[in-house]
Structure 1
Amino acid sequence: MLETLYHALSVAAARQLGLVTRAQMARLGTGPAAIDRLKEAKLLRELIDDVFQLPGNLTGFTYAYAYAAWLALDPERFCWERPRSPAEDAVLSHHSAARLHGLGTLSPMATMFTTPQARHAPRGVGLQVDRLAPEDITNVEGIAVTTVHRTILDLVRFPFDRDDIARVLHDALRLDAVDLRAIHDAMVPLSPRYGHPADGAAFLRYFLPDLVPASLSPRNLRAWARLAAPDDVAVIQARITAVLGDVRATVEDDEAVEAVSRDVAAEIVGRLRRR
């Protein structure tokens, strides 16, 4: 009988990163006595309160603990019974998302999720009630998590201090996991409330004083140049636009020509000023 129960648990856990909750086990007919016997036999390990890991799965602890907390938010339902759209369910966010993305060195805190409506939070889990757009969500090792871009904005609004955000932003740029220009544009409206500079050059000095531009990807080197030296970029862009005058006459898409001249100008400034 116990072997049959354990087989059922194994099948369910295989679809949940090797994890199963006490409530799910009850639905499969596994009572407290059977759970105790399986624990004694080291066939179950309680990862967090009432969420168990079966031995032999290859899920790393960082991912297992995050997924266990997600299961604990709705312990009776199996993962395939929960909303198919992550935006309608709980999404790992804030410092927990940063940790999953491998960004920064934020102190351990309650596992944080963003959820569209208030719900009970088990011990060790924090909730932010907000509705995420689909483009704010990605998937990492089977876990729905906020994108790096959204994660950084959430850390600003939480708020974390400058040093914490700076380390996360620096790591995100090192991994080319975020667009520097896009993150600056998104943080400008937050500047009056949270006290960071809105001006591009001041923003770089505030959050990224030790950034080495040469370490940036081409897109972020261009973004850095536009933020650090917008006047230089504008001067060179004007010259490039003049050179492209003959081409412009044969190209109907003026915006495309403008974009090319802007990118080339930023690339030149970035490459000449990087260190």
Structure 2
Amino acid sequence: MKALDALNKLSDLCARQKGLFTSAQAQEVGVNRTTLTRLAAHQQIVPIARGVYRAATAPALREEPVYAAWLSLDPKTPAWKRKLDNTDYVVSRETAAWLYGFDEFDPKPYAFASIERKQTRNKGIHLFKHAIKPEDVRVVDGLPVLSRQRTATEILKYCPNTRAIIDFLSTLTPEERPLSMMRLLGNRETKFSSLDAHQIRSVCNLWRKEDRSLRNDWGTDHTGRTHS
């Protein structure tokens, strides 16, 4: 197959998937692996991850490595045929926090959660079984991602970077804050330095003050009774 013909066949995939496509998707449109190897050798496509390529004319986006990992987990299915609010392969943990714009988190290995146990041979991807409801999922940069509330819970449980955790928690709105924050902190406190634990508790105390202020503004006390 001529290079131009192959690139034309791949163009629709690239246009609808941030410039990316998988080798399995390429085969579905009639472009075999030998042709892909030749296109890559001539720098007309760029290998991004195992079995995932980017058109050389497409820009590299910040979310590209996570998007490539997500495509690779279901390599035959194009992005536009996937339900972004379902509970398969939802970006989670530090990878989710990074997608929310917190660069101090290391997104690798790329973490994905699912309600069913999944497996992958890709050591750069970690899969976790979690209870996830559709309302726990948000769409960020075209990817299904755990909500900021669920992400806060996840990083507080599993992330070793306490400085990044504090920064993330400090940005949460009242609706996004984990309901069991103090219990989660208690479970992890032995893993924090005394200073980090104190700073996280300071965030919690600030939340309490804000909650009390909001209740007062609405004319309710801490018991929920309305003042006359």
Cα-to-partner distance string for 1:78-133 (whole Å, 9 max, x where unaligned): 22343x25333211111111111112512453111111212232231011111322
Equivalent position of 1:217 in the other structure: none
TM-score relative to the length of structure 2: 0.79
Deviation, structure 1 residue 56? 2.7
Hey, what's the Cα distance between the residues in 1 that align with 2:100 and 2:93? 11
- Give the number of the structure whose residues are more often helix, by fraction: 1
Partner amino acid for 2:20? L
Equivalent position of 2:193 in the other structure: none
- Residues 21 and 71 of structure 1 are in contact (CA less than 8 Å); yes or no, is this contact kept in structure 2? yes
Deviation, structure 1 residue 43? 1.4
- Residues 115 and 128 of structure 1 are in contact (CA less than 8 Å); yes or no, is this contact kept in structure 2? yes
TM-score relative to the length of structure 1: 0.67
Instruction: Note closer, same or farther for the CA distance 1:139–1:85 as it changes in structure 2 (3 Å cut).
Output: closer
**Which of the pair has more CA radius of gyration?**
1
- The partner residue of 1:225 within 186, 197, 209 is 209
Instruction: Note closer, same or farther for the CA distance 1:165–1:223 as it changes in structure 2 (3 Å cut).
Output: closer
Equivalent position of 1:75 in the other structure: 75
Hey, what's the Cα distance between the residues in 2 that align with 1:15 and 1:21? 13
CA RMSD of aligned residues (A): 3.3
Deviation, structure 1 residue 225? 2.2
The reply to whether residue 155 of structure 1 matches residue 149 of structure 2 is: no
- Residues 98 and 107 of structure 2 are in contact (CA less than 8 Å); yes or no, is this contact kept in structure 1? no
Equivalent position of 1:183 in the other structure: 177
Identify the range of structure 1 (89-98 vs 108-117) with the bigger mean alpha-carbon deviation: 108-117
Consecutive unaligned residues of structure 1, counting only runs of 5 or more, are 197-202, 212-219, 241-255, 263-275
Equivalent position of 1:113 in the other structure: 112
What is the correspondence of 1:128-167 to structure 2 with a 5 Å cutoff?
Answer: 128-167=128-167
Equivalent position of 1:32 in the other structure: 33
Deviation, structure 1 residue 222? 7.9
Equivalent position of 2:187 in the other structure: 193
Equivalent position of 1:90 in the other structure: 89
Hey, what's the Cα distance between the residues in 1 that align with 2:79 and 2:178? 36
Equivalent position of 2:11 in the other structure: 10
Cα-to-partner distance string for 1:210-263 (whole Å, 9 max, x where unaligned): x7xxxxxxxx99845247xx6xx6xx95xx9xxxxxxxxxxxxxxx6427xx9x
Instruction: Note closer, same or farther for the CA distance 1:167–1:103 as it changes in structure 2 (3 Å cut).
Output: same
Aligned partner of residue 156 in structure 1, secondary structure? helix
The reply to whether residue 47 of structure 1 matches residue 48 of structure 2 is: yes
Aligned partner of residue 106 in structure 1, secondary structure? coil
Spell out structure 1 runs of 4+ moving beyond 4 A. none
Partner amino acid for 2:75? P
- Residues 16 and 79 of structure 1 are in contact (CA less than 8 Å); yes or no, is this contact kept in structure 2? yes
